[in-house]
Structure 1
Amino acid sequence: MFPKTGNTFQKAGKKTNPQIEYRDAIWSALTGELGGTHQATKTMMRWTGVSERTARNWISGSHAPAGEHLIELMRNSDAVLSAVLVLAGRREAHAFVRLDLVRAELQTMLKAIDMIKGQGTPSQD
């Protein structure tokens, strides 16, 4: 008996390309946090040390960062960090990152409220 040879076809519902999914997630995170302006390009250049052309490619979604540039973006951008955690299937880690951000924001707001109320110095936590 001869082994079955021939073409195998992918399932119609599974057409996700991990490279495209990654590129789109990073593009969405960067433009959501920084916008698509020239200032956003300059900010990414400062964060990562890449050329203007490379930063523009990330903003346009035509390319995505790799290696050390991704790490620098994650260090400076909460949106990129969250996107990478979600792509990695680490939703619980993503939730903890979000909780830390919310906690820091609440502390800032409480200090501002204390200052507005005229208590002079913000409360110590």
Structure 2
Amino acid sequence: MSLPKRGRKIQSVSGNSRPYGATDLGSAEFAREIAEALHKDFGGTHAAIKRVVALTNANERAVKNWFSAKNGPTGRHLVDLVRTSDEVLEAVLRLSGRSDLILAKKLGDSKQTLIKMLNLIGELQG
């Protein structure tokens, strides 16, 4: 016995809810934001492309397309980029309407830097 056609669709219980500040995101805007983040973090040279290829294990042509904003990374490659690039992480958070997490990340990074500086001062004072 098969399910009726209308019984096959699974609908969200909560509807189409998005975090505050999230907007409809087009693929061109996504690609442009990721390309900008890649350029900030890695530069725009061929060596930068090679470095991203090594980090993500993606095809070189695909990475060139990311850098030129022709398209953006998906799935595993996006996760690899977020893991290694603070700029890409911030771009993804900003695009998803989670700018509050960017501030929290920067605060945590600043705290770690301050702890390192205080430890260094302590070592220098002997």
Whether TM exceeds 0.5 here: the answer is yes
Q: Whose RCO is larger (CA < 8 A, sep 6+)?
A: 2
1:25 paired to 2:9: no
- Aligned partner of 1:55 in structure 2 is 63
What percentage of residue pairs aligned between the two structures are identical?
Answer: 36
Mapping of residues 99-114 of structure 1, within 5 Å: 99-114=107-122
The runs of 5 or more residues in structure 1 that have no matched partner are 1-15, 120-125
1:71 matched residue in structure 2: 79
Look up the SS of the partner of 1:36 in the other structure: coil
Give the count of matched residue pairs. Answer: 103
Q: Could you tell me whether the CA contact under 8 Å between 1:74 and 1:80 is conserved in 2?
A: yes
- Give unpaired runs (5+ residues) of structure 2: 1-23
Which residue does 1:95 correspond to in 2?
103
TM-score w.r.t. length of structure 2: 0.71
2: CA distance, partners of 1:77 / 1:43: 12
Q: Indicate if the aligned counterparts of 1:82 and 1:97 stay in contact, CA closer than 8 A.
A: no
User: TM-score with structure 1 length normalisation?
Assistant: 0.72
Tell me by how many angstroms 1:94 deviates.
Answer: 1.5
Q: Retained in 2: the 8 A contact 1:44–1:55?
A: yes
Q: Which of these two proteins has the greater Rg computed from alpha carbons?
A: 1
RMSD: 1.9
